[in-house]
Amino acid sequence: MKSGLFALLLFALTATGVYSQSAPVYGVEQNGLLKNNSVLGDREFSSANGIYRFTYNTGAVTDEIRVLTGFRLYKNNALQFTMDRVPGSDISVSDNGYTVVYDHSFHFDQKVTLMIYSPAGAFLFSKTYRGASGFTFSDKGNYLMVRNTDNTDLIDLSNRMTLPFPKGLVSCYNEALKQFVVADEEMLSMFVNGKYVFAVKHNLALPRRTDISGSGGAIAVISGDALNIYNTKGELTGSSPAEYGSKYRDIKYDGEILYAGIHTKTKTSSSGSIKLFDKSARLLNIINGPAMRNNPVNKISVPAKSSAGYEAVPWPFAPFDSARTVWNHYEQHMGLYDTSSYLHQGLDLIIPIAEPAYAVKAGIVKCVLTIGGASYWRLAISDSQNSGVSDGWLYAHLIQNTIQVDIGDTVQQFDHLADIIAWTSDWAHIHFANIKDSGAVWLYSDNEWGINFNPLFAVTPLNDTQPPYILPVFPGTMFAFTKNETNTYLDPQALRGEIDIIAHTVDTICNSGWQQPANRVYYEIKNGVTGAVVKPKTLGHILNHPYTFYESGNYIPYAGVIYKRDAQLLPSGWMSMNRDYFHNLTNSNGDSLITLEERELGLNTQLYPNGIYNIIVTAFDPSGNKAVDSMTVTFNNPGMGTDTGQDPEGIYLTQNYPNPFSDKTIITYNVAGNNGRGDVSVLLQIFDVLGNLVATPVRSYQTPGKYQVEFEAATNRLPGGLYLYRLACGGKSVTRKMMILK
């Protein structure tokens, strides 16, 4: 349109009262998000209209919980009410002064509890959701819309009354006309007074926002690429595509004028602008907003594979080859109240407040959402855009008005994603994880937010030269021993029956001041007299197990498989820099997988003759640095013979190796002399636990000396279980136990 005609149109619209050239109600952030021009200061500490603002102090924190104190709510600078201790970890305030406190105490179970306070500070009610991932106030601020597992709930903040509507990606509510609109990936639906009015296919890729005009006669919805406007019959009255290089990011009505926030990104800058439209999507005006110059970064070359064999990614902060402070390790054991504990999922890195985060890999943005409050914004970038299952990287605890992307956007490696929000008064942290989900959009309500692997196995380079170390479990004893799956501790010099072996490991990734557990821990057992290996090096646990979805049913029970926790061996607190991790090494079948059934496993000392043994523990960090320590113990089971390496009568029979075994094992024995009278009669036999003879590996005369025989369980068709093997020669005998696994 020519400039003269455009000016004439603006004059005509102004004369009819449709459009005014007075100061605009809304401004725009550099990322295209709209903001009320009345808001001064940080948006996360204000209502959307700027009438209410609040302050608080941050105390102790965990990975997802903060202790907030000294809350103050102001209306036009007049103090309304205070709370000395806030019963939650984040806060938002509506345009009408209702305060919503988000309690994340049970975040490990995907739960958030909303506590609602009146504008005067009276507690009104609380409501708990599981899997909620969207919280939006209505136009006047008297209602809250919550996208949850089953619905989009419309909550009346004055009395808790809740109306359920279909779950969608976006929704809005016009209080005066009681119009509710929700848009999912295909349909835009409208309800009035809770009753269905229409549903129409919007033909937009992925809806990002929707809003209703003041009169209720126009409903707008945007994707990144287009704007559609409908009337109350569901008829399309106008549309406007986004310009090349720009994306629709936000929309809000001021009366009948629609403000559309536009985000434009180039290689060097990010800028916001506003387009004003009438009810037919005719462009009325363009208002340029702020621009942010992208800080130049030095990209690095990342190898195809990390040293651990995973697809390599850089660190998510510049410089990309420089490690950041690791606060919390993958599957780190942490205390949870008085009766439980759980495994931390993902990697927490401490960084300066407002530190820019960058994409570690190219892909498609699958989610941009908060699980409750300004401090819980997060985004995830998947390898591919499809409706099936895919993997991606999750970045959590972002400043909303710095988020540079939205659902459906394409991201390149090293693109600026967002800045990290303050977690304490001194520092910020990012929760960084590789996750799995399905669908074109990833929500938080479908029990699919699976955790794939330890990010430290992929981050490159991991310049860590400091090995982990092994500490005594108790003063004067390197390892601890309990009866299997009990809290009964045993004397190391009188171990008997089935036992658990407990080791205390500590690591500091890349010289972080915060202690983490060792990444891999092995144990082996040697004969304390001969040095012979009686149990080969066995993997206790590797902190790299996948979980099908982020939920306490996964990582709370598994904490008891990997670690020992009782009144004497408690996991440390989140803000303790010196921490304790007590690995239960025998709760493992020796592979890198984990099942809850492995908690019942232990070391059966009855499989070994009584005697002195040396238990050796080796701990590794993700870079391969290792620490080794050992402890001498005694097995002392009633009725078992003593293994001194050489029987007093000269008969020598070693523990079979490997043991337990599933296919083949080696039995070593020594034939004693016969006072010079020639060869000795030798009989080596296998018995089941009932005393039945099941195999005879050796029946012959042999010259005194050392022999080995290979025994095959499959050839003898023996089922799994406990067996005895006995050597008899020269009128003497020695018996040992072996275990066959099937």
Q: What is the CATH number of the domain that holds 700?
A: 2.60.40.1930
CATH number at residue 544: 2.60.40
**603 and 507 both lie in a single domain:** yes
What tokens appear for 691 in the block? Answer: 């005393």
| φ, ψ for residue 240, nearest 5 deg | -150, 120
Residues 624, 673: one domain? no
Radius of gyration of the chain (CA): 33
Domain hosting 384: range is 347-453
At residue 556, the pLDDT reads 84
Final residue of a structural domain among 453, 478, 494: 453
Predicted local confidence at residue 677, as pLDDT: 63
Q: Which of 411, 427, 453 is the last residue in one of the domains?
A: 453
Say how far apart CA 182 and CA 221 lie, in whole Å: 10
Q: What is the CATH number of the domain that holds 431?
A: 2.70.70.10
Q: Are 423 and 401 in contact (CB under 8 A)?
A: no
**Residues 541 and 623 placed together within one structural domain of the fold:** yes
Same domain membership, residue 504 and residue 416: no
Residue type, 566: D
Domain boundary among 394, 428, 453: 453
Q: H-helix or E-strand containing 593?
A: none
Pair 700, 622 in one domain: no
* Rounded (5°) CA angle 301-307-312: 40
In a domain, 706, yes or no: yes
Shared domain check, 620 and 723? no
Q: What is the DSSP letter of 345?
A: -
Question: Pick from 735, 331, 734: which is nearest to 555 by CA?
Answer: 331
Same domain? 578 vs 677: no
446 lies in some domain: yes
Whether 443 and 352 map to the same domain: the answer is yes
* pTM for this predicted structure: 0.84
Which parts of 245-324 fold into alpha helices (H)? none
Same domain, 441 and 489: no
Q: Is residue 601 part of a domain?
A: yes
Residue 376 is assigned to a structural domain of this protein? yes
Secondary structure of 463-512 as H, E, C letters = CCCCCCEEECCECCECCEEEECCCCCECCCCCECCEEEEEEEEEECHHHC
Domain membership flag for residue 403: yes
Are 521 and 537 within 8 A, CB to CB? no
- Is residue 181 assigned to a domain? no
Residues 353 and 424 in one domain: yes
Distance separating alpha carbons of residues 288 and 275, to the nearest angstrom:
9
CA distance 349 to 327: 5
Q: What integer pLDDT is reported at residue 720 of this predicted model?
A: 87
Is residue 182 in a domain? no
Same domain for 663 and 731, yes or no, is yes
- Position 528 in a domain: yes
CA 300 vs CA 297, 324, 350: distances in Å: 9, 16, 22
Pair of tokens at residue 359: 């994409």
- pLDDT score, position 13: 42
Cα 335 from Cα 574, distance rounded (Å)? 8
Q: Which of 628, 632, 631, 630 is nearest to 469 (CA)?
A: 628
**How many domains in the chain?**
3
Separation of alpha carbons 569 and 473, rounded Å: 8
Q: For 623, which DSSP code?
A: T
Judgement on whether residues 672 and 583 belong to the same structural domain of the protein: no
DSSP 14: H
Interatomic CA distance for residues 99 and 117, integer angstroms: 5
Classified as helix, coil or strand, 166 is strand
- Listing DSSP states for 506-572 in one string gives EB-GGG-SS-B--SEEEEEEEETTT--EEEEEEEEEES---BSSSSHHHHHHHHHHHB--SSSSPPP
Given this model, what pLDDT does residue 14 score? 39
In this prediction, residue 640 carries a pLDDT of 64
Query: Which pLDDT belongs to residue 498?
Result: 93
Question: How far, in Å, are 432, 436, 623 from residue 600 at the CA level?
Answer: 32, 30, 31
Could you list the mean pLDDT of each consecutive 10-residue stretch along the chain, which spans 742 residues?
Answer: 37 42 84 89 86 95 94 96 97 97 92 97 97 95 95 97 96 97 97 97 95 96 98 96 96 97 92 97 95 89 93 97 94 78 92 97 96 96 86 96 95 96 96 93 80 94 92 94 94 94 95 93 91 92 89 82 91 88 94 90 90 95 94 85 48 83 89 73 86 88 88 86 85 81 82
Tokens, residue 3: 């400039």
